[in-house]
Amino acid sequence: MKTLIKNGYLITMEEESVQKDGYVIIEDETILATGSGVPPADEYDKVIDADEAIILPGFINTHTHVGMGLFRGYADDLPLMEWLETKIFPMEDQLNDEYLYHGAMLDILEMIQSGTTCFLSMYMFNNGAAKAILESGIRAVLGRGTSGIGPDEKHRQVFDEIRDLYRRCHGADNDRLRIWIGPHACYVCPPDYLKKVAALAEELHTGVTIHIAETQSEVDGCLKNYGLRPLPYIEQSGIFDHPTVAAHCVWMNEEELAILKKYQVGVAYNPESNMKLGSGVAPIGKMLQMGIHVGLGTDGSSSNNDLNMIGEMRSAAFLQKVANLDPLALSAWDVLRMATVEGAKILHWEDAIGQLKPGYQADLILIRTKCPHMRPLHDVVSNLVYSADKSDVETVMVKGRILMENRRMTGLHETEIIAQAERTFREMYKKLQQSQKKEDEKVDI
């Protein structure tokens, strides 16, 4: 199938420029050509008039927890560890693959509608998540969340689960889904366990994603337990010898930044989650000066509370400006790169996505500009980052397949997905209450 998209403001991300009257020509999954002016005269199966919409690569969310949309608004305004231990962990004990599937579909629906075409998720019950990804048409990397707490038998079972998931799903649908490993963080991953994770990454020839230095208390705990800050502690495990995305990286010193640079560890910057949980401000300016690749993430929708990459770009720039008392600290173009081409780099997918160029996969979006908050259009990139809204995303395409056109989903049933997610949470919450009642009865006895 041959598709022409024309008459838009084209941002290919190959260089810092915007082409007026831009067009993209796509054949099946692949971009054949881009340009501006009058498109080549040819026979096209489908022609999309962008009508002055912005045409650009789809957003790449480099850190989230797909399925946690089930817990949106359930446990707000709490410190990170209290939020996890008293609210989230007990609810997660009720999860299974079926529940996770419904939560993942809710999150994927939200991401498509706000322009995300690819994401990296760290979570559990990835059979359910993989099913949702393959059915929905979105692109993803699934990092199976793991913890070094508990008996060795449990760890072996989780590693066998990862091996099975990798065997069945890695590279599925012509490389639309990849499987990584997701050790949670240093505070639940002892040294020997991290070395086992590194060995599994070597066995499978795959990548790793891990939370690093999200809070000051995490750093203090690592120093107390192991005599090292999080980056040197994880470095000694060998994990950084494999493709790695480090989420957050808020509390970094010069030594740790040098480690990120040495191993080319990708950083997932999550400004809204860091603000909401009071975690701090990542030193993004220093990272960029050192040539560290930084992508953008939303974190899970229970700690943000949305998966809106347009809003995340705005917050990413504003937070750095106010934290550094410098309006030049992070530009609109900087954060747009984080949300697209830099995201592709840290996921090691830069040879196929993140830019609009011949030979690349047709992962792209159209964002309308004919609305009051996007006019006048003095600077297309500035308006996109600082003025656009997620509802301005009109059309979303992954691998040449249109997932949303003119704000209408082409495959997913929005009302049904939302209703099922709400039923799922009610079932889980009922099970949690029953479980807690039994525990209370034991204590009374």
Residues 336 and 236 in one domain: yes
Q: Which of 346, 379, 397 is the last residue of a domain?
A: 346
CATH of the domain at 40: 2.30.40.10
Q: What is the pLDDT of residue 2?
A: 97
What is the spatial distance between Cα 301 and Cα 138, in angstroms, rounded to a whole number? 18
Asked if residue 417 belongs to a domain, the reply is no
* pLDDT tens string 385-432: 999 999 999 999 999 999 999 999 999 999 999 999 999 999 999 999
CA 355 vs CA 3, 139, 200, 350: distances in Å:
18, 15, 31, 8
The pair of structure tokens assigned to 309 is: 């990459």
Helix (H, G, I), strand (E, B) or coil at 22: strand
Asked if residue 414 belongs to a domain, the reply is no
Residues 277 and 389 in one domain: no
* pLDDT tens string 81-92: 888 888 888 999
The answer to whether the CB of 262 falls within 8 A of the CB of 289 is no
What is the spatial distance between Cα 357 and Cα 60, in angstroms, rounded to a whole number? 17
| Phi, psi (degrees; rounded to nearest 5) at 333 | -65, -40
Residues 97 and 234 in one domain: yes
Residues 84 and 210 in one domain: yes
Q: What is the pLDDT of residue 444?
A: 56
What is the spatial distance between Cα 40 and Cα 120, in angstroms, rounded to a whole number? 37
Q: What is the pLDDT of residue 192?
A: 96
* pLDDT tens string 240-258: 999 999 999 999 999 999 9
Residues 203 and 266 in one domain: yes
Q: Which of 319, 346, 373 is the last residue of a domain?
A: 346
Q: What is the pLDDT of residue 83?
A: 83
Q: What is the pLDDT of residue 388?
A: 98
Number of domains into which the chain is organized: 2
Residues 169 and 315 in one domain: yes
* pLDDT tens string 97-112: 999 999 999 999 999 9
Cis, peptide link before residue 305, omega less than 30° from 0 = yes
Residues 249 and 114 in one domain: yes
Q: Give the containing element (helix H, strand E) for 156.
A: helix 152-169
Mean pLDDT of the chain: 96
CATH of the domain at 165: 3.20.20.140
Asked if residue 429 belongs to a domain, the reply is no
Residues 138 and 275 in one domain: yes
* pLDDT tens string 202-226: 999 999 999 999 999 999 999 999 9
Beta strands in 58-200 (DSSP E): 59-64, 116-123, 139-146, 177-183
Residues 255 and 377 in one domain: no
Asked if residue 307 belongs to a domain, the reply is yes
**What's the length of the chain?**
445
Our separate counts of H helices and E strands in the chain read: 17, 17
* pLDDT tens string 14-57: 999 999 999 999 999 999 999 999 999 999 999 999 999 999 99
Asked if residue 439 belongs to a domain, the reply is no
Residues 49 and 145 in one domain: no
**Biggest alpha carbon distance in the chain?**
82
Please classify residue 385 by burial: count the beta carbons closer than 10 Å to its beta carbon, then call 0-12 exposed, 13-18 middle and 19+ buried. Answer: buried
- Using the predicted structure, report yes or no on whether residue 443 has a pLDDT greater than 60: no
Q: What is the pLDDT of residue 377?
A: 96
Asked if residue 441 belongs to a domain, the reply is no
- Using the predicted structure, report yes or no on whether residue 438 has a pLDDT greater than 90: no
The answer to whether the CB of 343 falls within 8 A of the CB of 62 is yes
Asked if residue 45 belongs to a domain, the reply is yes
Asked if residue 444 belongs to a domain, the reply is no
Q: What is the pLDDT of residue 84?
A: 84
Please classify residue 282 by burial: count the beta carbons closer than 10 Å to its beta carbon, then call 0-12 exposed, 13-18 middle and 19+ buried. Answer: buried
Residues 24 and 167 in one domain: no
* pLDDT tens string 136-165: 999 999 999 999 999 999 999 999 999 999
Q: Which of 346, 372, 394 is the last residue of a domain?
A: 346
Which structural domain, as residue segments, surrounds residue 387?
Answer: 2-57+356-409
Q: What is the pLDDT of residue 186?
A: 96
* pLDDT tens string 280-311: 999 999 999 999 999 999 999 988 999 999 99
Q: What is the pLDDT of residue 303?
A: 85
Residues 400 and 334 in one domain: no
The pair of structure tokens assigned to 313 is: 């770009």
